[in-house]
């Protein structure tokens, strides 16, 4: 049982709220039973699971890994201390620390969804969720995108962050053919055209031969 606010495992959770520590350690944090179940169901092994001292089960319908005492890397925590490290205003009963999983740009194949300068973590997470649920596509994060392992992105993914490995790459590393959808008033990635109206940057698809993808200012 963790009873001290100075416990090193609680300090780790606090550090992982910052991007530099997520990048340095290759870890990220989830909060809540739903995300913990999603990670375990996807075959991820947590580095750490901090749970409310009275929690007995993660719930849900899947039989595996639901009895808390059977979970890997488990530590029970006093409720007040768990609430202090939670990023949720309502607190939480489960905090998980997980390894990040990245795919390789050189192995991209099939349907990919390339994001260009999507700077809002919540938007990145929502797109990851949509790509997983509707497209069975690999999400490729281009320059200027928010950290997909940020707390807001992880929450918005609703567990899909545990799906297909994410990839960081340039547009030219994605499979062809490519079709771009550019938001009204947006710009296509790559060299900016002298005349955006002639480039197709008014909300219509560009030609499949052009290396472009959706852009959001977030």
- For 133-155, the pLDDT digits (tens) are 998 899 999 999 999 999 999 99
State how far the Cα of 75 lies from the Cα of 73, in Å rounded to an integer: 7
User: What pLDDT is attached to residue 197?
Assistant: 47
As given in the structure block, the two tokens for residue 78 are: 């006093």
User: What pLDDT is attached to residue 218?
Assistant: 37
pLDDT score of 196 more than 80: no
pLDDT score of 173 more than 80: yes
- Do 8-99 and 105-199 fold alike per CATH? no
pLDDT score of 63 more than 60: no
DSSP character for 52?
A: E
State how far the Cα of 15 lies from the Cα of 181, in Å rounded to an integer: 37
User: What pLDDT is attached to residue 216?
Assistant: 40
State how far the Cα of 151 lies from the Cα of 139, in Å rounded to an integer: 18
Which tens digits make up the pLDDT trace of 21-38? Answer: 999 999 999 999 999 999
How confident is the model over 2-14, as a mean pLDDT? 96
φ and ψ at residue 34, rounded to 5 degrees = -60, -45
Q: 107, 169 in Cβ contact below 8 A?
A: no
Q: Which fold has domain 105-199?
A: Alpha/beta knot (3.40.1280)
pTM: 0.80
Domain segments of the chain as ranges? 8-99, 105-199
State how far the Cα of 148 lies from the Cα of 2, in Å rounded to an integer: 29
pLDDT score of 67 more than 50: yes
How confident is the model over 74-98, as a mean pLDDT? 91
Q: How many helices (H) and strands (E) does the chain have?
A: 7, 7
User: What pLDDT is attached to residue 195?
Assistant: 55
Residue 120: exposure state from Cβ atoms within 10 A (0-12, 13-18, ≥19): middle
Q: Confidence class of residue 88 from pLDDT cuts 50, 70 and 90?
A: confident
| Cα 175 → chain centroid | 22
DSSP character for 172?
A: G
As given in the structure block, the two tokens for residue 125 are: 């997470």
Q: 117, 144 in Cβ contact below 8 A?
A: yes
| Cα 203 → chain centroid | 27
The b/e string for 28-54 (b: 16+ C-beta within 10 A; e otherwise) is bbbbbbbbbbbbbeeebebbbbbbbee
Strand partners, 75: 50
Q: 127, 101 in Cβ contact below 8 A?
A: no
Q: 110, 173 in Cβ contact below 8 A?
A: no
Domain 8-99 is found in CATH 3.30.1330.30: yes
């Amino acid at each position: 049982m963790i009873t001290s606010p100075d416990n090193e495992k609680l300090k780790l959770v606090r550090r992982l709220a910052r991007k530099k520590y997520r990048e340095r350690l290759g870890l990220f944090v989830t909060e809540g039973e739903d995300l913990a179940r999603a990670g375990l169901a996807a075959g991820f092994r947590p580095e750490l699971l901090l749970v409310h001292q009275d929690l007995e089960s993660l719930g849900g319908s899947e039989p595996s890994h639901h009895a808390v005492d059977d979970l890997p890397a488990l530590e029970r925590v006093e409720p007040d201390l768990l609430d202090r490290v939670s990023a949720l205003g309502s607190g939480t009963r489960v905090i998980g620390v997980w390894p990040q999983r990245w795919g390789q740009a050189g192995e991209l194949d099939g349907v990919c969804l390339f994001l260009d300068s999507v700077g809002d973590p919540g938007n990145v997470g929502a797109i990851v969720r949509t790509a997983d649920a509707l497209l069975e596509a690999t999400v490729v994060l281009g320059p200027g995108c928010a950290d997909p392992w940020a707390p807001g992105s992880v929450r918005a993914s609703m567990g899909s962050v545990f799906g297909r490995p994410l990839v960081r790459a340039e547009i030219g590393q994605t499979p062809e053919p490519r079709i771009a959808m550019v938001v009204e008033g947006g710009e296509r990635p790559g060299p900016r055209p002298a005349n955006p109206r002639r480039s197709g940057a008014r909300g219509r698809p560009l030609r499949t031969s052009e290396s472009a993808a959706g852009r959001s200012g977030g």
